[in-house]
Amino acid sequence: MKYPEIDKYAELDSLIHRFDPRAKIITFTLLIFSFVFIEDIRIAFVSLLFSFFILLVSRIPFGFIFNRMKPGLIFVMPFLIVMPFALDGNVLYSYNGISISYDGLYYGSLVVIRAATSIMLTLIMLGTTKMDTTMKSLHSLKVPSPFVQTLMFSYRYIFVFIDEFLSMWTSMKAKGFKVKANKHSLSIIGNIVGMILVRSYERAERVYHSMASKGYTGESRTIVKFKMQTADYGLAAILIGTVLIFIIYGMSLS
Amino acid sequence: MKTAISITDLNYSYPDGTKALDNVNIEIEQGEKIVIMGPNGAGKTTLFLHLNGVIRAEQDNVKIFGNNIGSMKTEDRIREVGVVFAEPDDQLFMSTVYDDIAFGPLNMGLSEEEVDRRVKKALATVGLEGFEDKVPHHMSFGQKKKAALAAVLSMEPRVLVLDEPTANLDPKSRADLIRVINDLNKNHGITTVIAMHDINALSELADRVYVLNRSIVAEGPTRDIFSDHVLVKENNLDAPDIFKFFKILKCFGGDCDQTPMSIDESVKELTQAIEALEGKMSLHIHESTHEMVNDVISSYRH
Ligand SMILES: Nc1ncnc2c1ncn2[C@@H]1O[C@H](COP(=O)(O)OP(=O)(O)OP(=O)(O)O)[C@@H](O)[C@H]1O
Ligand SMILES: [Mg+2]
């Protein structure tokens, strides 16, 4: 199993990496939101190319991003398959009463392109900043503290969780366990899942105790030091300008 | 001298009915170096959970510098006593080592400069300079243990409580840690209370030993505890190797004033003993030597 290490390439150096993390979060969020509302498939396609261009600039290996895009794309793929059959409209092709509609194909593709664009941008945003910096930026952008803390602890403990699962799994295999499609195998798997839940609950309790014994009262206090540079304002302006061009061009078409 | 920790008639049972502590009495003076030993499941960790307020005793059984720990304010408590538990992953919950070590000091309301100073100092103390931006899942177990210790040191508590600090450390790190603890104790007047199974580190980390086995079964200077081989055996303990070796040496006629507990002590004792014999110690085998040696060995064997 691979660790979900989203910030594996955060130590590279590029224009996107150097971008102030708070400005990055704001502008990328703007980009994503304006791109998912694009109605015209040609503009949507250009926005996908634009995101790809940002990926090039960020110098993160394509394979890394594409691998992580897969789960999301698999999730939206059914739209592309179902919509051409389900939606009425101009018939593109028809066979034995089953027809594929042009509108269905259009909207199906639009959904997939929008999803690809927004997932890619999200991954670039997260992939070019170290996770703790992202969390601190969210904190300094006044995102509610319970939300940021939940994110932070989830990210911290998912690794512990995976290690725990792997070590249990290895020790089961070392004792001759093989997954088979029978009742015994299933009941054992059920057992580990239960075990993991109990362990996580107990760990959460111990972590909380450890925090409490260091004076935690629910408030998150971290030292945040960010400073916007001229280059950051410049890049933010360019990206926001791009958003505006997309929006204005989109409006002029409709 | 002031009493740092005073525990009187402490009882504790876990919700499932396991009786973990039975009438425990402990009295530790400020500046003392204490080790608590005892078999697995003896209640050492449970005892320590009482010292940082995780488990609250029903009466005023646990006092730190005269104050009942249950009714102390959190800010005051964390200035007085810091507990480092054995499992580092539970104690490093922030995203970077820096944030973890800064966590306590920030909660104490210290200024950013002071927090920064303390983080740097704590990292240097445990030998993790340059680890500020490391994330815990990229660190080895021993490094995480050191970071967890640093995260408590940064609060600069007057009493430092450590649960199995030397477990899983490589020999150099173990020696470094022993040095750190001794430095804190000797030069900064910090009272240290340690639970561990590492008997060979004992003489360096303890002025006095408590043997805990649900209740306190023995208490006293290290050498007295380990001379009582019935006590040692009954509580799953063992004497340090050097101690046993000098007991054996005695069977061959190599008699020292006191049986040494550590390598350093052995040098001192041997020198004294040989000087008293005008520069020459002779070893020999006589009738009962083998019998005596066997007695020594079997008295400590499990
Ligand atoms: N959460 C719990 N619920 C129920 N029983 C517990 C719990 N934690 C510990 N115990 C029991 O309490 C007793 C004391 O456990 P404790 O962890 O304090 O021992 P210990 O001296 O630290 O042992 P070790 O040397 O193995 O670390 C044991 O019998 C243990 O099984
Ligand atoms: Mg323990």
User: What is the tally of helices (H) and strands (E) in chain A?
Assistant: 9, 2
The per-residue pLDDT for range B95-150, each reduced to its tens digit, is 899 999 999 999 888 999 999 999 999 999 999 999 999 988 889 999 999 999 99
Mark whether A72 and A193 lie in a shared domain: no
Q: Is the pLDDT reported for residue A196 higher than 90? A: no
User: What is the β-pairing status of strands B208-213 and B33-37?
Assistant: parallel
Average pLDDT, chain A: 86
Q: Which ligand is nearest to the CA of B37?
A: 1
What percentage of chain B has pLDDT greater than the value 90?
A: 68
**Is A164 found in the same domain as A111?**
no
Rounded to a whole number of angstroms, the distance from the CA of A8 to the nearest CA of chain B is 11
Cβ–Cβ below 8 Å for A212 and B93 = no
A117 and A159 co-located in one domain:
no
What is the pLDDT averaged over residues B195-208?
92
Residue A9 lies in a domain: no
- Contact predicate A123/A62, CB 8 Å: no
- With cut-offs at 50, 70 and 90, classify the pLDDT of residue B302: confident
More confident residue, A98 or A42: A42
Tell me what percent of the residues of chain B surpass a pLDDT of 70. 100
Does A212 contact B155 at a Cβ distance shorter than 8 Å?
Answer: no
* Residue A2 scores a pLDDT above 70: no
B240 Cβ inside 6 Å of ligand 1: no
Shortest CA distance to B150 belongs to which of B193, B104, B191, B106?
Answer: B104
Give a yes or no: residue A48 inside a domain: yes
CB distance from B116 to chain A under 8 Å? yes
Q: Which ligand 1 atom is at minimum distance from the Cα of B38?
A: 21
Using the mean position of ligand 1's atoms as its centre, give its distance from the Cα of residue B20 in Å: 7
Q: Are residues A165 and A118 in the same domain?
A: no
CA-nearest of A249, A252, A253 to A47 is A249
Percentage of chain A with pLDDT > 70? 98
Q: Are residues A85 and A209 in the same domain?
A: no
pLDDT digits (tens, 9 = 90+) for A140-158: 888 888 888 888 888 888 8
Residues A61 and A167 in one domain: no
- Identify how many contiguous H helices and E strands chain B contains and give both numbers: 13, 10
Same domain, A182 and A233: no
When pLDDT is averaged across residues B43-62 and rounded to a whole number, the result is 88
Q: How confident is the model at residue B190 (pLDDT cuts 50, 70, 90)?
A: very high
Q: Is the ipTM of this complex over 0.90?
A: no
Per-residue pLDDT, A165: 85
Taking residue B45's Cβ as centre, other Cβ atoms within 10 Å add up to 16
What Å distances lie between residue A10 and A22, A66, A247, B150, B163, CA to CA? 15, 16, 31, 26, 36
Percent of chain A whose pLDDT exceeds 90: 31
Sequence letter at residue B162: L
Cβ-based neighbours of B242, under 8 Å, separated by 6 or more: B200, B260, B261, B262, B263, B265, B266
Task: Mark whether A132 and A159 lie in a shared domain.
Answer: no
Total structural domains in chain A?
2
Give the residue among B275, B239, B245, B272 at the shortest CA–CA distance from B257. Answer: B272
B222-227 contacts, C-beta under 8 A, 24 or more apart: B222/B35, B222/B261, B223/B258, B223/B259, B223/B261, B226/B261, B227/B259
What is the rounded distance in angstroms from the CA atom of residue A246 to the CA atom of residue A253? Answer: 11
Q: For residue A156, what is the nearest residue in chain B, using CA coordinates?
A: B95
**Quick check: is A125 in a domain?**
yes
> What pLDDT shows up at residue A85?
81
Task: Using the predicted structure, report yes or no on whether residue B254 has a pLDDT greater than 80.
Answer: yes
CA nearest to B84 within chain A: A210
With bands split at pLDDT 50, 70 and 90, how would you rate the model's confidence at A225?
Answer: confident
Which residues partner with A154 through β-bridges? none
Measured CA to CA, the distance from residue A155 to residue A133 in angstroms comes to 13
Q: Domains in chain B, ordered, with CATH?
A: 3-232 (3.40.50.300), 241-300 (no CATH)
Q: Which range of residues forms the domain containing residue A115?
A: 15-138+227-253
Residue A70 sits in the same domain as residue A175: no
In a domain, A236, yes or no: yes
Distance between CA atoms of residues A47 and A53, nearest Å: 10
For range A160-172, the mean pLDDT: 84
Confidence class of residue A237 from pLDDT cuts 50, 70 and 90?
Answer: very high
- Residues from chain B that touch A215, judged by Cβ atoms under 8 A, are 74-75, 78, 104, 107-108, 155
pLDDT reported for residue A132: 85
Q: Do A157 and A131 share a structural domain?
A: no
Model confidence at A93: pLDDT above 80:
no
DSSP codes joined into one string, B71-118: GS-HHHHHHHEEEE-S-HHHH--SSSHHHHHHHHHHHTT--HHHHHHH
Whether A216 sits inside 8 A of B136 (CB atoms) is no
Q: Is B17 in the pocket of ligand 1 (CB under 6 A)?
A: no
CB B194 within 8 A of CB B165: yes
Say whether both A204 and A241 belong to one domain: no
Q: Label residue A254 by pLDDT band (50, 70, 90).
A: low
B96 at the A interface (CB within 8 A)? yes
